[in-house]
Amino acid sequence: MYIVLQVWLVRLDYDDTLTIVGTAHISRESIEEVKKTIAEVKPDIVAVELDRKRYKVMTERKKWENTRITDLIKGGNAFFLLAQIFLGSIQRRLGSREGVEPGAEMMIAIRCAREQRLRLKLVDRDIGITFKRMWVKMGLRERMRLLWHFIKALVGFDEEEEDMDISQMLKEDVISTLIQELKEIAPSVTKVLIFERDAYIARKLLECKAQGKTVAVVGAGHLNGIRKYLDRPEKIPTYKRLEHVPQKNLGLYKTLSILIPMLILGMFSWLAVRAYYDPSFATVLWSSLFVWFMINGIGSAIGAAIGGGHPVSIATAFVAAPFTSLNPAIAAGWVAGYVEAKVRTPTVKDFESLGTVERFRDFYRNRAVKILMVTAFANLGSAIATYVALGLIIPTII
């Protein structure tokens, strides 16, 4: 049965062996209810909606101090880390209205488990897998829409409107409101971020309740989905299916990352040979090269500028992009991010304050976050510019 304690706080006594406390992650009442429920139920197991990575971030505060700059810059880490920081900043901003640190109820559950020597279970899916599945399943339109909302938020277009929304959210079910907004922007994101995790958490909770009396602490937005899966356990997908990252789109991306540079090099080689035998065609060659360098450079530089890069980093992105776009092994954003790290070297304080970024303007004040933004957006700008440049060049040589 449901026992509604607050507009945004729900406790579900599923059966004698499982009690689930749903919270908004930002409510002071959540903290008290977690402590009260554990004291009343006297469970054998405390389960929390965390994976191993987020658990370490919450319990090992010094983790960021040892983060290597190269780990922030290389690969897809920039986008994934930015996404985590971005989502965390939204929760922190909401929590500041209540005077509560986001995730405080999770820390209370962990502390209670330690003090009472209860078994602690982490029941959420690996955050890396969640973000990878989310990115792969999103269509191009969803990616662009989500990116546009992200950029608008970063540059402050929505800040005043969001402050109004936050006030309204705290009067309603904040989690359901956020989920509904996310559905409208990118339905695929909601499926992976919410519904798949409902199934994953439900499977984990079934394992927990089989081992002993369990109190689980999860976000209120997951309660309905978890209950449905607990009622119909045969409908829960296997771990193998829930943790699988589809390779089809990734394979296509890798193929394109090799074929496009080959196409571009082949195109300019063909133009050079033709210009050699027909000097009148040299104009087409030089104009095509000019378009390639300018469009690619400007696109990447704009991305670095959106990320708040230093003028030197922006200039580096401009110079590097036309060359890195021809090399699948290196990206313009990596070069620009490395230069940003050299010009504005992050301090220990920057890494320690990653977990306290709240306002969007804080993204531009924190040097570690700025490196991520310069890397991610310079790469994105270069990628978009590559297709724009090809679209302008190919018609002139056909």
Does 175 have pLDDT greater than 50? no
Question: Domain map of the chain by residue range?
Answer: 2-244, 249-397
CA 41 to chain centre: 35
Strands (E), the chain: 2-6, 9-15, 18-23, 45-48, 119-122, 214-219
Q: Which of 6-10, 96-100, 178-182 has the highest mean pLDDT?
A: 178-182
Cα(204)–Cα(198) distance, integer angstroms: 10
Q: Which of 162-176, 225-239, 330-344 has the highest mean pLDDT?
A: 225-239
Question: pLDDT category, 275, cuts 50, 70, 90?
Answer: confident
DSSP β-bridge partners for residue 215: 19, 46
User: Going edge to edge, which strands form the sheet with 45-48?
Assistant: 2-6, 9-15, 18-23, 214-219, 45-48, 119-122
- Tell me the two tokens of residue 224: 């309905």
pLDDT (0 to 100) of residue 368 = 77
Question: pLDDT category, 391, cuts 50, 70, 90?
Answer: confident
Q: State the average pLDDT over residues 366-373.
A: 80
Cα(353)–Cα(368) distance, integer angstroms: 9
pLDDT (0 to 100) of residue 25 = 57
Share of the chain above pLDDT 70, in %: 69
Q: Which helix (H) or strand (E) is 229 found in, with range?
A: helix 223-231
pLDDT (0 to 100) of residue 197 = 92
pLDDT (0 to 100) of residue 192 = 86
Q: Helix, strand, or coil here: 74?
A: coil
pTM: 0.65
Question: pLDDT category, 352, cuts 50, 70, 90?
Answer: low
Q: Is the distance from CB of 233 to CB of 258 less than 8 angstroms? A: no
Does 396 have pLDDT greater than 70? yes
Range with the poorest average pLDDT among 75-84, 272-281, 283-292, 311-320: 75-84
CA-angle at 162, arms to 157 and 165, nearest 5°: 150
Question: pLDDT category, 72, cuts 50, 70, 90?
Answer: low
Look over the chain and give the mean of its residue pLDDT values, rounded to a whole number.
77
More confident residue, 24 or 368: 368
Q: State the average pLDDT over residues 3-15.
A: 59
Amino acid at 331: A
Question: pLDDT category, 264, cuts 50, 70, 90?
Answer: confident
Phi, psi of 25 (to 5 degrees): 65, -5
Q: Is the distance from CB of 120 to CB of 215 less than 8 angstroms? A: no
Question: pLDDT category, 45, cuts 50, 70, 90?
Answer: very high
Cα(377)–Cα(292) distance, integer angstroms: 19
